Structure 1
Amino acid sequence: MKKIIAIALAFSTLGCQSKEKKSMTEVPSAAAIKNQNLETATLAGGCFWCTEAVFLEIEGVKSVLPGYIGGQTVNPTYEEISTGRTGHAEAIEIVFDPKVVSYGELLEIFFATHDPTTLNRQGADVGTQYRSEVFYYNDAQKKITEEYIALLNLENTFGKPVVTKISAAPKFYVAEDYHKNYYSRNTSQSYCSYVITPKINKLKEKFQDKLKK
């Protein structure tokens, strides 16, 4: 099922969402990130409803924002990036405490909870906006990502080559409010039930020690 169908369903239920729980995390300010020695990671792995839901569960993650990155259009909308013509990927911006969870551990979770071997698609979600891509903020993140992908390919972890791109992080545009904390507000919706819930179950099975208490 196309994710756009799920959006139509979501809009039909927006009127009853005011009583649902708010975002699980508050977004730290730039000053807080600096003062608390927090770091940022930006990952694209298909539908950002999926990746946001996964990383909100991880201990040491302070905030997760869905958004758009890597394209040409300034201030893109969801409708624009959904055409696949703006060049943006759906992605999440993660602020995390490296004393609790390392960048390498975030990558381990990222690659275990999406398919990094399919070019410009995740399941039924097809288009460049659903590509697998890691956006790095410094040389250390770039090196860790390159070495991790090389190891996955060397060990033939997926039985196919990893096609995940590695790129310097350009401007990240935060998505519209209705995308934020989407899974927890729409758990029973068909897309969430059939696509996201299995990812969460897999996360809980493989990374029990990494989850928030």
Structure 2
Amino acid sequence: MAIETATLAGGCFWCTEAVYNDVLGVTNVESGYIGGETSNPDYRSVCSGNTGHAEAVRLTYDSDVIGYTDLLDIFFHVHDPTQLNRQGNDVGTQYRSAIFPHSDEQKALAEKAIEEAASEWDDPIVTTIEPLGEWYKAEDYHQDYFEREGSRNPYCMAVVAPKLQKFRKSYQARLKANA
């Protein structure tokens, strides 16, 4: 087992977390904030757009089971990397599309993934590659949010559930449930 870490921001962290919780080889998904200037941000301050942080997920994964390139492939298929500072109705820099590499190798793979993803989209990719910086775990009520609240929360039913369904349909071989 070769445990590694990846940090990705693809809009609302509830959406991204729900997808990666289903991925074979991903051993932990944590929602949090990264890429900003404010120390110890909280959800309210990040949502204001004034801290510079992005809602993101930090993945722990077994690279003997799934590679970083595969995680990036999923990333570029479950959100729209052509929308600047937004995902659907979620608007602001906190919803930007960004990759926070943990090594020079991850940075090179991220650059290559952006180049390859560009051929699949009509509009230019706006995903940024940003310095890793300080990670702040989101409040406990954000962790595993879709799993706990998805069937009761209208946002989750309208936004998260369709993304998760699209992922499950397209990546059946990568699902924990099919292992």
Q: Aligned with 2:24: secondary structure?
A: coil
1:198 aligns with 2:162: yes
What residue is the counterpart of 2:67 in the other structure? 102
TM-score, normalised by the number of residues in structure 1: 0.81
What are the ranges of 5 or more consecutive residues in structure 2 without an aligned counterpart?
A: none
Structure 1 Cα separation of the partners of residues 25 and 117 of structure 2: 25
Residue correspondence of structure 1 range 178-189 to structure 2 within 5 A: 178-188=141-151, 189=153
Per the TM alignment, residue 182 of structure 1 is displaced from its structure 2 partner at its CA by 0.2
Q: Aligned with 1:136: secondary structure?
A: coil
Which whole-Å deviations, capped at 9, do the CAs of 1:171-210 have from their partners, x for residues lacking one? 1100000000000111221001000000111011100000
Q: Percent identity, please.
A: 50
Tell me which stretches of 4 or more aligned residues in structure 1 moved more than 4 Å.
Answer: none
Per the TM alignment, residue 158 of structure 1 is displaced from its structure 2 partner at its CA by 1.2
TM-score, normalised by the number of residues in structure 2: 0.96
Structure 2 Cα separation of the partners of residues 104 and 183 of structure 1: 25
What residue is the counterpart of 1:210 in the other structure? 174
1:73 aligns with 2:38: yes
Per the TM alignment, residue 37 of structure 1 is displaced from its structure 2 partner at its CA by 2.8
Per the TM alignment, residue 151 of structure 1 is displaced from its structure 2 partner at its CA by 1.6
Structure 1 Cα separation of the partners of residues 162 and 117 of structure 2: 23
1:146 pairs with 111, 125, 144, which one?
111
C-alpha contact (below 8 Å) 2:76/2:117 kept by paired residues: no
- Which structure: larger Rg? 1
2:90 pairs with 125, 131, 139, which one?
125
What are the ranges of 5 or more consecutive residues in structure 1 without an aligned counterpart?
A: 1-35
Structure 1 Cα separation of the partners of residues 89 and 115 of structure 2: 27
Which whole-Å deviations, capped at 9, do the CAs of 1:132-158 have from their partners, x for residues lacking one? 0000011110001101111222x2x11
What residue is the counterpart of 1:93 in the other structure? 58
Give the letter for the 1:165 counterpart: T
RMSD: 0.8
Structure 2 Cα separation of the partners of residues 117 and 89 of structure 1: 16
Which whole-Å deviations, capped at 9, do the CAs of 1:46-77 have from their partners, x for residues lacking one? 00000000000000001000000000110101
Give the letter for the 2:36 counterpart: G
Aligned residues: 176
